[in-house]
């Protein structure tokens, strides 16, 4: 699509779809006020608008051409966007919030996203003060372009079995980095393939023949002069993915690559000049970067889900299809209860996830400050909460985005709907930064310890007090006698706590019984893994309806009470349906950020679908070259055969 048309494409039209306009006129609340709450404050809304103007005045951030781009072009666009953000960050001295916001406005569609998502945070968290003074300026001025290389071809989850080695050579005061086997090559790290010139490599530290476990090392990959790989380094792209193809996820093989001893990150441990290994702080402090990214992923979950909900809600009030009674006007599909059941949970969960991310981020900031001051008391609880919430929220996002896609019928399957790409780019959230089933188990492990404490009356961690309150014999009955009771948040919280108490202590009991029967601990754990994972998962009415089994199979709700909850859920959906459009408008997503013909603010869906169809590369010529190469021959042969047949 020519640049001029591209600009026309995104310019909001004064002609707004009448159904959409009517929905906005009947809002029961002040949308702008809610937008300020979502942004965090009026100032943050103002800041977001400033950044939108900055980014979207740049052609590279407006381009609708991405729908029919080749991988190399997608990658190069992603590099260009990265560099734009880096230049603005340096020029305007953006803080982390501004950078994260700008990255979000670019849909995180930036090739070198790891520079600020992991590389710089890892240096801030894992380097000694001397190393920070040396490396941070080089990373913040983008001389060092970096990645976080931990996962290998053969291992991603099980860090203990990572094979890359860093062997200390006391003669030359260096570490020798090696990828000893094919499965040990680093595989997946973002921006590793073609962009990065430096990597933080996680490797088994070997000193005088002894393995001191996994430690981070700063490894130069490419020449700072001409970007060619340095001696002993083989590096490249691992190939196209389902989405996120602007990112050059790469492989890295190291053969006897020598780095100075000072390149071992030394905040939490060091190797002295004479080869002594000294460990400092907590054993798992080197895992700090993973905890941070898990918290970020809960934010990305909100962002992806609010995008999907906005498109699905706006399209569902614009789209009219079929009538409830013959002869009547076709219905807005959002008036079908089944459509509400598909789309409104994504809207509800978007708000729930926004608030949950905020709460988790506050916990993270507080615990991180403690750890930087040497107090690691709450690290285990943070690890549990960040693992469980990253797993649960990414799982729900993937499920609900797929439902939003299905709710948009055939047009939801078009790339121009934006939802397919949203599903594909959010899909890896259940895998990255710790595969979900593994992280749920980490949370379950911590939960089991809290149960053990509650059972003997010892104090339990702040987030798990329900294990005590729900265990007392005089715990209050759950008061759900009518629909109004189902709207009482304290009552719903009590329902969840009651259920959680039963599921968690039930899992603990099964585990304990298995171990007491003589089964070894790790076998008992595996045999009860599903119960343990369930113990680590749980949102309001819809959550109860969806997970009926856990609320009915435990002494939580009677069947009658459960039916009341179901009725209340449908009643709540009808109420939310009235304000569904103002509720998604409050996310205030610029059309360029949403990148969807179905979700555009003006609701001119059909004109936009048709306009975007023109950008299809197949429409460059009226008759496609494939006709002349292949189809014409087929038709001519057919005509010849028919002529011959008619002569018979």
Ligand X SMILES: CCCCCCCCC/C=C/C(=O)SCCNC(=O)CCNC(=O)[C@H](O)C(C)(C)COP(=O)(O)OP(=O)(O)OC[C@H]1O[C@@H](n2cnc3c(N)ncnc32)[C@H](O)[C@@H]1OP(=O)(O)O
Closest CB to ligand X among residues 423, 545: 423
Residue 519 CA neighbour count, 13 Å, CB half: 15
- Minimum gap (Å) between residue 442 Cβ and ligand X: 5
Q: Is the dihedral of CA 308, 309, 314, 320 positive or negative?
A: positive
Interface with ligand FAD includes 525 (CB under 6 A)?
no
- Minimum gap (Å) between residue 179 Cβ and ligand FAD: 14
Q: Which of 55, 114, 252, 393 binds ligand FAD (CB under 6 A)?
A: 114
- What is the distance between the alpha carbons of residues 545 and 531, in angstroms, rounded to a whole number? 19
Going by the DSSP 8-state scheme, the letter that residue 478 receives in this structure is P
Neighbour-count burial for 502-528, b at 16+ CB within 10 Å, e otherwise = bbbbbbbeebbebeeeebeeeebbeeb
Give SS3 for 171. coil
Residues with Cβ within 8 Å of 341's Cβ and at least 6 positions away in sequence, in order, are 573
Radius of gyration of the chain (CA): 28
Binding residue count for ligand X, defined by CB under 6 A: 30
Task: Tell me the per-residue interface mask from 349 to 388 with ligand X, x by CB under 6 A, - otherwise.
Answer: ------------------------------xx--x-----
DSSP annotation string for 78-137: HHHHHHHHHHHHHHHT--HHHHHHHHHHTTT--TTTHIIIIIHHHHHHHS-HHHHHHHHH
- What is the distance between the alpha carbons of residues 443 and 127, in angstroms, rounded to a whole number? 28
DSSP-assigned beta bridge partners for residue 235:
252
Segment contacting ligand FAD by CB under 6 A, of 104-112, 155-163, 319-327, 404-412: 155-163
Interface with ligand FAD includes 244 (CB under 6 A)?
yes
- What is the distance between the alpha carbons of residues 634 and 637, in angstroms, rounded to a whole number? 5
Q: Which of 434, 543, 599, 603 binds ligand X (CB under 6 A)?
A: 434
- What is the distance between the alpha carbons of residues 127 and 631, in angstroms, rounded to a whole number? 63
Q: Which of 77, 131, 150, 385 binds ligand X (CB under 6 A)?
A: 150
Q: Which does 300 bind (CB under 5 to 8 A by kind): ligand FAD, ligand X, none?
A: ligand X
Task: Tell me whether residue 410 is annotated as binding.
Answer: no
Closest CB to ligand X among residues 364, 551: 364
Residue list 232-251, contact with ligand X (CB under 6 A): 244
Contacts 24+ apart (CB under 8 A), 550-556: 550/499, 550/502, 550/503, 551/495, 551/499, 554/498, 554/499, 554/502, 554/503, 554/506, 555/498, 555/502, 556/478, 556/495, 556/498, 556/499, 556/502
**Most distant CA pair in the chain, distance:** 98
Segment contacting ligand FAD by CB under 6 A, of 150-158, 383-391, 488-496, 500-508: 150-158
**Residue 1 CA to chain centroid, in angstroms?**
31
Both tokens of 91, joined, read 């020029």
- What is the distance between the alpha carbons of residues 117 and 96, in angstroms, rounded to a whole number? 10
Task: Tell me the per-residue interface mask from 394 to 433 with ligand X, x by CB under 6 A, - otherwise.
Answer: -------------------------------xx-xx--xx
Q: Which of 2, 25, 129, 160 binds ligand X (CB under 6 A)?
A: 160
Closest CB to ligand FAD among residues 190, 599: 190
Q: Which does 400 bind (CB under 5 to 8 A by kind): ligand X, ligand FAD, none?
A: none
Q: Which does 249 bind (CB under 5 to 8 A by kind): ligand X, ligand FAD, none?
A: ligand FAD
- Which H or E run contains 233? strand 233-237
DSSP-assigned beta bridge partners for residue 270:
278
With 0-12 / 13-18 / 19 or more C-beta atoms within 10 angstroms meaning exposed / middle / buried, residue 468 is: middle
Interface with ligand FAD includes 78 (CB under 6 A)?
no
Q: Which of 157, 181, 279, 527 binds ligand FAD (CB under 6 A)?
A: 157
Q: Which of 190, 308, 345, 603 binds ligand X (CB under 6 A)?
A: 190
Closest CB to ligand FAD among residues 9, 525: 525
Q: Which does 17 bind (CB under 5 to 8 A by kind): ligand X, ligand FAD, none?
A: none
- Minimum gap (Å) between residue 243 Cβ and ligand FAD: 9
Task: Tell me the per-residue interface mask from 50 to 69 with ligand X, x by CB under 6 A, - otherwise.
Answer: --------------------
Q: Which does 609 bind (CB under 5 to 8 A by kind): ligand FAD, ligand X, none?
A: none
Which regions of 249-334 does DSSP assign to beta strands (E)? 250-254, 257-260, 269-271, 277-279
- What is the distance between the alpha carbons of residues 445 and 387, in angstroms, rounded to a whole number? 11
Q: Which of 195, 245, 249, 340 binds ligand FAD (CB under 6 A)?
A: 249
270 is catalytic: no
Q: Which of 19, 381, 395, 435 binds ligand FAD (CB under 6 A)?
A: 435
Interface with ligand FAD includes 111 (CB under 6 A)?
no
Q: Which does 425 bind (CB under 5 to 8 A by kind): ligand X, ligand FAD, none?
A: ligand X
Q: Given 100, 433, 516, 520, which residue is catalytic?
A: 433
Q: Which does 99 bind (CB under 5 to 8 A by kind): ligand FAD, ligand X, none?
A: none
- What is the distance between the alpha carbons of residues 107 and 90, in angstroms, rounded to a whole number? 20
414: left (phi > 0), else alpha (psi -120 to 50), else beta?
beta
Q: Which of 45, 431, 531, 571 binds ligand FAD (CB under 6 A)?
A: 431
3-state secondary structure 604-636: CHHHHHHHHHCCCHHHHCCCCHHHHHHHHHHHH
Q: Which of 24, 71, 411, 445 binds ligand X (CB under 6 A)?
A: 445
Q: Which of 432, 572, 580, 593 binds ligand FAD (CB under 6 A)?
A: 432
Task: Tell me whether residue 491 is annotated as binding.
Answer: no
Segment contacting ligand FAD by CB under 6 A, of 147-155, 466-474, 501-509, 552-560: 147-155
Which sequence positions are flagged as catalytic?
Answer: 433
Binding stretches for ligand FAD (CB under 6 A): 114, 148-151, 155-157, 188-190, 244, 249, 428, 431-432, 434-435, 437-438
* Annotated binding-site ranges for FAD: 151, 190
List residues near ligand X by CB under 6 A.
Answer: 108, 148, 150-151, 156-160, 190, 244, 284, 287, 290-291, 293, 300, 379-380, 383, 425-426, 428-429, 432-434, 438, 442, 445
């Amino acid at each position: 699509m020519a640049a001029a048309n591209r600009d026309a494409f995104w310019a909001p039209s004064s002609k707004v779809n009448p159904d959409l306009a009517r929905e906005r006129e009947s809002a029961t609340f002040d949308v702008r006020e809610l937008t300020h709450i979502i942004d965090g404050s009026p100032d943050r809304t103002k800041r977001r608008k400033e950044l939108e103007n900055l980014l979207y005045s740049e052609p590279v951030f407006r381009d609708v051409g991405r729908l029919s781009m080749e991988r190399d072009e997608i990658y190069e666009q992603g590099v260009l966007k990265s560099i734009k953000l880096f230049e603005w960050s340096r020029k305007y001295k953006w803080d982390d919030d501004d950078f994260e916001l700008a990255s979000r406005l670019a849909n995180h569609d930036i090739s070198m996203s790891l520079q600020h998502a992991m590389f710089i945070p890892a240096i801030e968290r894992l380097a000694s003060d001397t190393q920070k003074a040396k490396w941070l300026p080089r990373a913040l001025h983008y001389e060092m372009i970096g990645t976080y290389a931990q996962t290998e071809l053969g291992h991603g989850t099980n860090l203990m079995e990572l094979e890359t080695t860093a062997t200390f050579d006391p003669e030359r005061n260096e570490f020798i980095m090696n990828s000893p086997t094919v499965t040990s090559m680093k595989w997946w790290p973002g921006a590793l393939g073609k962009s990065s010139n430096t990597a933080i490599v996680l490797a088994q530290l070997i000193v005088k023949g002894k393995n001191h476990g996994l430690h981070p090392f700063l490894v130069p990959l490419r020449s700072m002069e001409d970007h060619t790989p340095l001696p002993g380094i083989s590096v490249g792209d691992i190939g196209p993915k389902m989405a996120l193809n602007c990112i050059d996820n790469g492989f890295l093989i190291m053969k006897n690559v020598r780095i100075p001893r000072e390149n071992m990150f030394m905040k939490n441990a060091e190797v002295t000049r004479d080869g002594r290994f000294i460990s400092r702080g907590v054993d798992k402090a080197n895992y700090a970067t993973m905890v941070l990214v898990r918290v970020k992923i809960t934010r990305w979950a909100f962002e992806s889900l609010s995008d999907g909900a906005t498109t699905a809600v706006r399209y569902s009030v614009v789209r009219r299809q079929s009538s409830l009674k013959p002869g009547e006007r076709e219905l807005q599909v959002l008036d079908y209860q089944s459509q509400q059941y598909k789309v409104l949970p994504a809207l509800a969960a978007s708000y729930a996830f926004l608030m949950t991310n905020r709460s988790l981020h506050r916990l993270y900031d507080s615990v991180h400050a403690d750890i930087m001051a040497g107090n690691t008391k709450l690290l285990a609880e943070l690890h549990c909460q960040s693992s469980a919430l990253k797993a649960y929220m990414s799982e729900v996002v993937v499920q609900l985005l797929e439902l939003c896609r299905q709710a948009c019928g055939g047009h939801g399957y078009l790339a121009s709907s934006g939802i397919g790409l949203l599903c594909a780019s959010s899909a890896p959230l259940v895998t990255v930064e710790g595969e979900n089933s593994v992280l749920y188990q980490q949370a379950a492990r911590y939960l089991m310890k809290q149960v053990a404490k509650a059972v003997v009356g010892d104090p339990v961690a702040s987030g798990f007090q329900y294990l005590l309150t729900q265990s007392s014999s005089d715990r209050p009955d759950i008061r759900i006698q009518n629909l109004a009771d189902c709207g009482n948040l304290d009552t719903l919280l009590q329902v969840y706590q009651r259920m959680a108490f039963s599921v968690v202590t039930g899992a603990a009991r099964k585990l304990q019984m298995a171990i007491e029967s003589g089964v070894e601990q790790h076998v008992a754990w595996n045999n009860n893994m599903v119960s343990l994972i369930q113990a680590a998962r749980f949102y309001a009415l819809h959550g109860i309806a969806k997970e009926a089994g856990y609320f009915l199979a435990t002494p939580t709700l009677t069947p009658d009470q459960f039916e009341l909850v179901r009725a209340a859920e449908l009643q709540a959906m009808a109420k939310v349906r009235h304000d569904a459009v103002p509720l998604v408008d409050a996310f205030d997503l610029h059309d360029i950020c949403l990148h969807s013909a179905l979700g555009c603010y003006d609701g001119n869906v059909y004109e936009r679908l048709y306009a975007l169809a023109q950008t299809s590369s197949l429409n460059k010529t009226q008759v496609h070259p494939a006709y002349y190469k292949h189809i014409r021959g087929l038709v001519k042969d057919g005509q010849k055969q028919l002529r011959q047949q008619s002569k018979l």
